[in-house]
Chains A and B, each alone.
Chain A
């Protein structure tokens, strides 16, 4: 994996019409270690995973996800959003060691 822990991307549709329900794709680089694996040398790999994802649209929190280490490495998620105004969509991922990773994308409407 070339990316560093916490590198994150949000993908929105290229053309958004006001009021439509869009699909948002989000991915963050993270090992999502369960704590159940060991290294080749036999040392336990401690649990290290994203546990909290907060999605904010403009000033409003629109969704919040609680995750365990059962979500796959480099966790991706897609969800819907009703694009009823032009505003930034911000996602904040927090891991169990206090790491906080943030990414934003602008919901902007296609000009006619």
Chain B
């Protein structure tokens, strides 16, 4: 029994490690080891985030892909954390990214920002700087003009609370 449990734990951690390595292709090597990301999408950390996701989804699936959320794996100062959100989805009048949502699970105002775009933008690429209260999942969710939802998630370790 004991050995079976150990084996399960070993397999599980091996799978998580493999997932983290596979997902880390675009990262700098030093960040890759610190980034926590598994093959599964992160569960909402609290009821508020669950509510935000339910309202955004409105019954539709939120799939991982077509979006890249690039943030440092470790944010030493939670007052100023860089964020880059990019999507490879088209920006034409027939099909475009119309909304980009940035959600920080453990912030006081979890739905931190929404960016509403039009095809005139030409490409979906937004950078800004945000505040983070503590270590948490961050979610970038985009909605297309056709009503599809695509997302990327990343966990950021915060050492200095930037929200008070």
Contacts and interface: CB of A to CB of B under 8 A. Distances in A.
Interface of A: 21, 23, 34, 36-37, 57, 60-73, 75-82, 84
Contacts of B117: 62-63, 79
Given A63-B118, A65-B113, A65-B114, A21 B123 contact: yes
Interface of B: 79-81, 91, 104, 107-109, 111-131, 162-164
A67 B107 CA distance: 14
B131 to A, nearest CB: 5
Contacts of A81: 120-122
Dominant secondary structure of chain A at its interface with chain B: strand
A34 B121 contact: no
B121 A63 contact: yes
Nearest to A25: B127
Contacts of B125: 23, 78-80
Contacts of A21: 122-123
B127 A77 contact: yes
A72 B131 contact: yes
Given A61-B118, A64-B116, A67-B113, A34 B130 contact: no
A78 B127 CA distance: 5
Best-buried of A37, A64, A66, A70 by chain B (most CB within 10 Å) = A70
Given A67-B113, A72-B79, 17 more contacts: A34-B131, A34-B164, A37-B164, A61-B118, A62-B118, A66-B113, A66-B114, A68-B111, A69-B131, A70-B108, A70-B113, A71-B113, A78-B126, A80-B121, A81-B121, A82-B91, A82-B122
Contacts of A61: 118
Contacts of B129: 71-72, 75-76
B107 A66 contact: no
B116 A63 contact: yes
A110 B122 CA distance: 19
Given A72-B80, A72-B130, A77-B128, A65 B120 contact: no
B122 A71 contact: no
A65 B130 CA distance: 14
